[in-house]
C-alpha cells in the first residue's frame, strides 16, 4: 500500500492539473482520424471499416511531443501534461456516442472540410457541443486541396499562407468566412485564431492540412493555451478521488486473458484496487491484477506493446487486467470501490438503466458489441420510425434467432448484428435456406442500417405491387365504328381506351350504370395482351353481351370496380395513379355516388 501511495503522490507532483480530454467531432470523411494520424504518426484510419471510425479510441499526446511540434512553445512554462484525444465515430448514426464524447470531454475539435463546409453531421456535432457547453476549436481541414494551394510540409499555417498567391489567399479567406457565418447561426462568435483577442468570447478557427502537416502546430498551440489559461481549476488533479472510467473495448490478450481498454476520466486507478464493473449478467466487482499503458502517441485500440504501471491518474487510456472480466459490456462504466461496495455498484446499475434504448412491443432485434453502438443503432432506427423489440450486447445465439422467428411481421422478422459474431448453433440455423429470419451483419453502422432499410423497402414494394395487381383499375373505352367482328357469344369489337388502364377479366357497365358484360380477353395485332393504356386501340371479347342490345357502336363504357377496390384506390393508390386513370376513377365514382353519396368512402 505504501508503494502504491508513493506512486500516486509522484503522479500528482508530475502535473498540477490532469491531462485534458479532447473529443474530435465532425462530419464523416472530413478528416478527423487523419488529423490524429498526423499528430501521432500512425495510420489508424487504414484499419477502420469503411475508413470511418467505429469505436472511440484514445491517444495520449504528451506535452514534450506538443512542444516539439509547436516550435513556439519550446520555452513556454506549461502545467498541462499533454492532451488525451478521443477519436469519436463520424457518421450521424452516432449521435449518442458523440454526445457522450461531448459530455466526457473537457474540450473539443470540430473538424470541417474547408471546401465542403458544414454538412448535416457537422451541424449535429455543433449542436451537441452547444448542449454540453464544451469549449471547442474549429479545425478547417484540407487546405492543401484548395485550388492553387502550394503546400509547405509541416509549416505553421501563417507561414505557409503568407507564401500563397493573392488569388489563393482570397479563396481561403472566403471559405473561412463562410464557416464564420455558419457558426454564427448557432450563436457563436468565430474568427481565425490569430485574429482572436479573447478566447472566452470567440471561437478560434485553425486552417490546416492533415496530409501536409500545415497548421498542426497552431492547432496544438491553441488547444494547450485554452487548457492552460481557462481550465486550470476544472482540471485540478486530486489523487484521493476514486478512479472512474468508461470501458472502450473488451479484448482477449495472450498471457493476460480477458482485458479491458478503459478511459480513466477522473481520479486514480491502481493495481490491487477493487473495481465495480457491468457485465451482461449484472454488476459485479473484481480486483485489478495489472495495468498496462500504451506508449505515448499510440492509439489504445491498436497498440501492440504496453508498459506495465502500478498506478495511473486521470485522464488516461489504460488496459486493465483482472479476474472475471468475461461478459463485461463495452461502453459501460468502471469505478474504483472505496467504502461501501454496494453503493458503488448501485451507481453503476443506475447508469446502465439510463442507457437510451427505446424498445417497442413490435420491432426487430439488435445485437451489438458495445453499448454505444447499440444506442446509436436504436437512435437511428427511431428517427426512421422503425421499432426495436430487443437490443442487447453480445454474440448472436440460437435463442436470439428463435425469438426473432416468432415475430409475425415479415419486415421485423430480422436481426441486425453489428460487430457481433454468430455462435456455431446460430450459424447452422442461418445457413438453412428455409429459415424465415433475415440476418444482417456489418461493421459499419450506417451501412448496416441502409442495407436493412433497402431490403425492407424492396419487400414492401413487392408486396404492394402484388396487392395492387389484384385491384381492378379504372378505365373508360369507346366502341369503334366498323369494328364489330362478332355480334355475340361472345361479342368481339374494336375499342379505343379513352382513359385509365384497361385490363382483361373485368366487368363493363354503361354510363347509366347498367351492366354490359364481362371483358374476357384483349388482342393487339392478333396477340393476346393483359392490359392497355389510354390511347390504345384493341380488340376485346365481351361475354354475356350482344351488340345492339347491351351496347351500341359509339357507346362509352366503364370498368365496373367493386366498392372495396375503390376504397384502396382512393386511400392508398391515388398518388400513384396517372391523370388519365384518376379521371376515369372520378367519372366512375361520380356515377355510383349519385344515389349514395357515401359509396366507396
pLDDT value at position 351?
A: 79
- Beta-bridge partners for 476: 499, 558
Specify whether 369 is located in the same domain as 348: no
Q: Is 574 domain-assigned?
A: yes
Pairing status of strand 274-279 against strand 333-336: antiparallel
Q: By C-alpha distance, which of 521, 516, 502, 517 is closest to 581?
A: 502
Q: By C-alpha distance, which of 158, 140, 169, 269 is closest to 217?
A: 158
Specify whether 554 is located in the same domain as 537: yes
Specify whether 124 is located in the same domain as 57: yes
597 has pLDDT over 90: no
Q: What cell was used for 73?
A: 512553445
Specify whether 217 is located in the same domain as 290: no
pLDDT tens profile 217-276: 899 989 988 888 777 777 776 657 899 888 878 888 888 899 998 888 888 999 999 999
81 has pLDDT over 90: no
pLDDT value at position 298?
A: 67
Q: What is residue 177's three-state secondary structure?
A: helix
215 has pLDDT over 80: yes
392 has pLDDT over 60: yes
Mean pLDDT, residues 123-136: 80
122-151: b (≥16 Cβ within 10 Å) or e = bebbbebbeebebbbbbbbbbbbebeebeb
Specify whether 325 is located in the same domain as 456: no
Give residue 86's pLDDT band: very low, low, confident or very high (50, 70, 90).
confident
pLDDT value at position 537?
A: 95
pLDDT value at position 63?
A: 83
Specify whether 37 is located in the same domain as 163: yes
Give residue 301's pLDDT band: very low, low, confident or very high (50, 70, 90).
low
Q: By C-alpha distance, which of 368, 245, 408 is closest to 318?
A: 245
Mean pLDDT, residues 487-511: 93
Specify whether 136 is located in the same domain as 178: yes
Which H or E element spans position 539? strand 537-543
pLDDT value at position 492?
A: 94
Least confident of 352-366, 545-559, 571-585: 352-366
Strand 388-393's sheet: what is its strand order? 388-393, 364-368, 414-418, 438-442
Q: Is 320 domain-assigned?
A: yes
Which H or E element spans position 158? helix 157-162
Specify whether 387 is located in the same domain as 503: no
> H/E/C letters for each residue in 62-73?
EHHHHHHHCHHH
407 has pLDDT over 50: yes
Domain finish residue from 469, 497, 518: 469
Residue 535: give the domain boundaries: 475-592
- Beta-bridge partners for 81: none
Measure the CA dihedral 452/457/462/467, to 10°: 130
pLDDT tens profile 470-486: 889 999 999 999 899 99
Least confident of 22-36, 181-195, 362-376: 22-36
pLDDT value at position 352?
A: 78
Q: Is 150 domain-assigned?
A: yes
pLDDT tens profile 107-125: 889 999 999 988 877 887 7
Mean pLDDT, residues 83-101: 56
Q: Is 11 domain-assigned?
A: no
Specify whether 280 is located in the same domain as 417: no
Question: In whole angstroms, what is the distance from residue 39 CA to residue 35 CA?
Answer: 7
Specify whether 118 is located in the same domain as 163: yes
Mean pLDDT, residues 286-296: 88
Question: In whole angstroms, what is the distance from residue 420 CA to residue 248 CA?
Answer: 16
CATH of the domain at 561: 2.40.30.10
Domain finish residue from 197, 230, 263: 230
Top pLDDT among 135 and 14 is at 135
Percentage of the chain with pLDDT > 70?
87
Q: By C-alpha distance, which of 368, 343, 424 is closest to 250?
A: 368
The DSSP line for 30-56 is SSHHHHHHHHHT--GGGGSGGGS--S-
49 has pLDDT over 70: no
Mean pLDDT, residues 163-171: 96
Mean pLDDT, residues 313-342: 89
Question: In whole angstroms, what is the distance from residue 19 CA to residue 8 CA?
Answer: 15
Q: Is 175 domain-assigned?
A: yes
pLDDT value at position 237?
A: 62
Top pLDDT among 19 and 236 is at 19
Q: Is 601 domain-assigned?
A: no
Measure the CA dihedral 99/103/105/110, to 10°: 40
Beta strands (DSSP E) in 273-399 are 274-279, 282-287, 290-294, 306-309, 311-313, 316-321, 333-336, 364-368, 388-393
CATH of the domain at 440: 3.40.50.10050
From residue 584, how far is each of 471, 561, 599 by CA, in Å? Answer: 15, 11, 16
Counting the structural domains of the chain, the total is: 4
Domain finish residue from 300, 325, 353: 353
Specify whether 145 is located in the same domain as 223: yes
Top pLDDT among 373 and 7 is at 373
pLDDT value at position 444?
A: 76
Q: Is 512 domain-assigned?
A: yes
Contact status, residue 569 vs residue 588, Cβ threshold 8 Å: no
Mean pLDDT, residues 358-375: 85
Q: Is 8 domain-assigned?
A: no
In this structure, what are the phi and psi dihedrals at residue 268, rounded to the nearest 5 degrees? -125, 140
Specify whether 454 is located in the same domain as 502: no
* DSSP conformational letter for 363: -
Amino acid at each position: 500500500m505504501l508503494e502504491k501511495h508513493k506512486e500516486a503522490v509522484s503522479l500528482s507532483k508530475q502535473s498540477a492539473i490532469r491531462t485534458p480530454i479532447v473529443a474530435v467531432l465532425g462530419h464523416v470523411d472530413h478528416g478527423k482520424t487523419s488529423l490524429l494520424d498526423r499528430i501521432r504518426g500512425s495510420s489508424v484510419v487504414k484499419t477502420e471499416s469503411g475508413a470511418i471510425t467505429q469505436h472511440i479510441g484514445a491517444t495520449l499526446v504528451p506535452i514534450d511531443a506538443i512542444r516539439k511540434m509547436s516550435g513556439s512553445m519550446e520555452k513556454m512554462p506549461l502545467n498541462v501534461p499533454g492532451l488525451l484525444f478521443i477519436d469519436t465515430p463520424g457518421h450521424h448514426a452516432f449521435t449518442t456516442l458523440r454526445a457522450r464524447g461531448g459530455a466526457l470531454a473537457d474540450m473539443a475539435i470540430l473538424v470541417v472540410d474547408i471546401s465542403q463546409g458544414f454538412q448535416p453531421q457537422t451541424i449535429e456535432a455543433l449542436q451537441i457541443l452547444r448542449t454540453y457547453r464544451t469549449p471547442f476549436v474549429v479545425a478547417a481541414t484540407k487546405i492543401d486541396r484548395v485550388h492553387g494551394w502550394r503546400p509547405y510540409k509541416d509549416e505553421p499555417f501563417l507561414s505557409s499562407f503568407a507564401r500563397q498567391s493573392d488569388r489563393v489567399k482570397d479563396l481561403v479567406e472566403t471559405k473561412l468566412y463562410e464557416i464564420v457565418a455558419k457558426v454564427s447561426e448557432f450563436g457563436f462568435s468565430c474568427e481565425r485564431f490569430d485574429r482572436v483577442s479573447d478566447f472566452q468570447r470567440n471561437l478560434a478557427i485553425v486552417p490546416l492540412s492533415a496530409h501536409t502537416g500545415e497548421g498542426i502546430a497552431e492547432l496544438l498551440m491553441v488547444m494547450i493555451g485554452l487548457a492552460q489559461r481557462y481550465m486550470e481549476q476544472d482540471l485540478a488533479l486530486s489523487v484521493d478521488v476514486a478512479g472512474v472510467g468508461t470501458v472502450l473495448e473488451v479484448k482477449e490478450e495472450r498471457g493476460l486473458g480477458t482485458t479491458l481498454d478503459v478511459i480513466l476520466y477522473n481520479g486514480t486507478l491502481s493495481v490491487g484496487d477493487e473495481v465495480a464493473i457491468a457485465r451482461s449478467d449484472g454488476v459485479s466487482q473484481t480486483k485489478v491484477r495489472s495495468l498496462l499503458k500504451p506508449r505515448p502517441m499510440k492509439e489504445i485500440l491498436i497498440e501492440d506493446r504496453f508498459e506495465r504501471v502500478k498506478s495511473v491518474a486521470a485522464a488516461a487510456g489504460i488496459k486493465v487486467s483482472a479476474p472475471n472480466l468475461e461478459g463485461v459490456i463495452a461502453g459501460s462504466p468502471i469505478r474504483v470501490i472505496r467504502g461501501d461496495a454496494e453503493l458503488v455498484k448501485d451507481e453503476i446499475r443506475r447508469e446502465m438503466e439510463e442507457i437510451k434504448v427505446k424498445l417497442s412491443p413490435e420491432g426487430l432485434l439488435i445485437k451489438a458489441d458495445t453499448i454505444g453502438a447499440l444506442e446509436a443503432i436504436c437512435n437511428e432506427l427511431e428517427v426512421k420510425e422503425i421499432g426495436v423489440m430487443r437490443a442487447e450486447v453480445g454474440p448472436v445465439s440460437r435463442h436470439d434467432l428463435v425469438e426473432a422467428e416468432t415475430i409475425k411481421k415479415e419486415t421485423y422478422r430480422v436481426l441486425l448484428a453489428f460487430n457481433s459474431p454468430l455462435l456455431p448453433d446460430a450459424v447452422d440455423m442461418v445457413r438453412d435456406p428455409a429459415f424465415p429470419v433475415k440476418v444482417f451483419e456489418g461493421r459499419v453502422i450506417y451501412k448496416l442500417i441502409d442495407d436493412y432499410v433497402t431490403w425492407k423497402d424492396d419487400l414492401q414494394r413487392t408486396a404492394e405491387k402484388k396487392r395492387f395487381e389484384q385491384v381492378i383499375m379504372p378505365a373508360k373505352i369507346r366502341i369503334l365504328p366498323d369494328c364489330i367482328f362478332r355480334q355475340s357469344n361472345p361479342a368481339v369489337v374494336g375499342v379505343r381506351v379513352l382513359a385509365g388502364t384497361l385490363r382483361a377479366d373485368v366487368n363493363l357497365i354503361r354510363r347509366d350504370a347498367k351492366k354490359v358484360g364481362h371483358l374476357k380477353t384483349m388482342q393487339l395485332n392478333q396477340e393476346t395482351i393483359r392490359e392497355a393504356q389510354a390511347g390504345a386501340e384493341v380488340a376485346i371479347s365481351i361475354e354475356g353481351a350482344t351488340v345492339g342490345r347491351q351496347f351500341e357502336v359509339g357507346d362509352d363504357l366503364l370498368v365496373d370496380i367493386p366498392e372495396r377496390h375503390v376504397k384502396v384506390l382512393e386511400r392508398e393508390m391515388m398518388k400513384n395513379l396517372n391523370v388519365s386513370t384518376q379521371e376515369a376513377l372520378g367519372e366512375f365514382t361520380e356515377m355510383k355516388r349519385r344515389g349514395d353519396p357515401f359509396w366507396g368512402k
